[in-house]
């Protein structure tokens, strides 16, 4: 079992953390994968570097397995983060576009209706990232945050993105790259210590947060996930829950009658989270204030139909 870490030379916020990681001891050239990619190995970790957009190389985990015979356990991507605010940020997030309909063209990879298996490491790594950023004096300049589920590429194993944002100046910041590299070094136990966020080792009776609603940076869900021992799966922001306002049509407010892809989005996110956390109790955490009353009523009813428990913050501690 190996862990695949992917970076691209086309993005300084991707290749700089990868190079900082590869500058640490123990790395050797890895197996030949394909002509336009390089690989490096260190214990059970494989770094794969290509030159394309980070979101377009689909099924790298499956392709690695077919080429090398090594079974991939999880996939981690280094990438840049963009934001309208241009604020500096270090982010962690799951991927997928579960709200898109068949026939829609995803703007940044993936396929309509798909949600990747979310990496169980996200919650523990977010908390560790905050500690590392504080120790390297990147806080408060950089915000340390989760992001909602979005974009590709397609993967088959538990996946997360680690991103540096949000402008060219910050993408090139070496101190930010060093912190992201240190997060992976310590998080995967490459320095000799225990790895961080190992679900198979630490999962006894653990509850997993499935975030529903709110903005892209999931502030209500963040408040919960920053507490020790909280695990997090998919995070569906409001834009990933398209709901057709019943007042604009002849439909009633019954959950079954409200149009939009919100039900499919919740289902895909829940199923992927459940698969990524075997034995875990998946609990929906709603950003109540982000919903209109008819939306909250419909979502609550649908979760009840699916036997998905709804939790308050204290239910996760």
List CB contacts of 88: < 8 A, sequence separation 6 or more: 141, 142, 143, 165, 166, 167, 170, 173, 176
pLDDT of residue 204: 67
227 phi-psi bin (left φ>0, alpha ψ -120 to 50, beta other): beta
pLDDT of residue 250: 55
pLDDT of residue 119: 98
3-class SS at 160? strand
User: Distance (Å, rounded) from C-alpha 159 to C-alpha 121?
Assistant: 9
Residue ranges and CATH numbers for the domains of the chain are 2-188 (3.40.630.50), 202-315 (3.40.50.10700)
Residue (of 204, 280, 207, 216) closest to 81 by Cα position: 216
What pTM does this model have? 0.95
Does an H or E element contain 82, and which?
A: strand 72-82
User: Distance (Å, rounded) from C-alpha 286 to C-alpha 80?
Assistant: 28
pLDDT of residue 108: 86
List strands edge to edge, sheet with 89-93: 28-29, 38-42, 45-50, 2-8, 72-82, 159-166, 89-93, 143-146
190 phi-psi bin (left φ>0, alpha ψ -120 to 50, beta other): alpha
User: Distance (Å, rounded) from C-alpha 202 to C-alpha 229?
Assistant: 9
Query: What is the DSSP-derived secondary structure letter of residue 118?
Result: B
CB 308 within 8 A of CB 300: no
Per-residue pLDDT reduced to its tens digit, 127-139? 999 999 999 999 9
Q: What is the dihedral of CA 156, 115, 227, 140, to 10 degrees?
A: 100
Per-residue pLDDT reduced to its tens digit, 16-40? 999 999 999 999 999 989 889 999 9
User: Distance (Å, rounded) from C-alpha 215 to C-alpha 156?
Assistant: 27
Residue (of 42, 57, 47, 41) closest to 15 by Cα position: 47
Residue (of 82, 137, 139) closest to 108 by Cα position: 82
Residues of the chain with pLDDT under 50: none
User: Distance (Å, rounded) from C-alpha 149 to C-alpha 241?
Assistant: 11
CB 96 within 8 A of CB 179: no
């Amino acid at each position: 079992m190996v862990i695949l870490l992917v970076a691209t030379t086309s993005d300084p916020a991707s290749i700089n953390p990868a190079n900082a990681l590869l500058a640490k001891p123990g790395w050797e050239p890895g197996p030949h994968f394909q002509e336009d990619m390089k690989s490096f190995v260190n214990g059970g970790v494989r770094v794969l570097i290509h030159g394309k957009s980070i979101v377009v190389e689909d099924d790298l985990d499956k392709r690695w397995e077919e080429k090398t015979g090594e079974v991939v356990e999880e996939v981690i991507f280094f990438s840049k983060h963009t934001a309208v605010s241009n604020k500096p940020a270090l982010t962690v997030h799951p991927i997928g576009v579960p709200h898109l309909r068949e026939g829609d063209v995803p703007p940044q990879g993936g396929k309509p209706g798909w949600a990747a298996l979310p990496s169980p490491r996200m919650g523990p790594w977010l908390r560790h990232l905050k500690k590392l950023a504080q120790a390297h004096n990147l806080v408060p300049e950089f915000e340390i945050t989760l992001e909602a589920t979005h974009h590709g590429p397609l993967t088959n194993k538990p996946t997360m993105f680690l991103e540096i944002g949000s402008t060219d100046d910050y993408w090139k910041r070496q101190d930010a790259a060093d912190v992201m590299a240190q997060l992976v070094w310590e998080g995967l136990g490459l320095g000799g210590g225990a790895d961080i966020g190992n679900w198979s080792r630490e999962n006894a009776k653990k509850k997993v947060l499935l975030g529903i609603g709110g903005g892209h940076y999931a502030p209500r869900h963040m408040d919960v996930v920053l507490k020790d021992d909280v695990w997090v799966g998919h995070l569906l922001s409001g834009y990933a829950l398209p709901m057709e306002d019943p007042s604009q049509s002849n439909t009633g407010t019954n959950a079954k009658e409200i149009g939009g892809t919100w039900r499919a989005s919740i289902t895909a996110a829940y199923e992927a989270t459940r698969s990524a956390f075997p034995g875990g109790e998946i609990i929906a955490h709603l950003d109540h204030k982000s919903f209109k009353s008819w939306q909250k009523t419909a979502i609550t009813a649908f979760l009840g139909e699916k036997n998905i428990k709804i939790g308050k913050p204290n239910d996760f501690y």
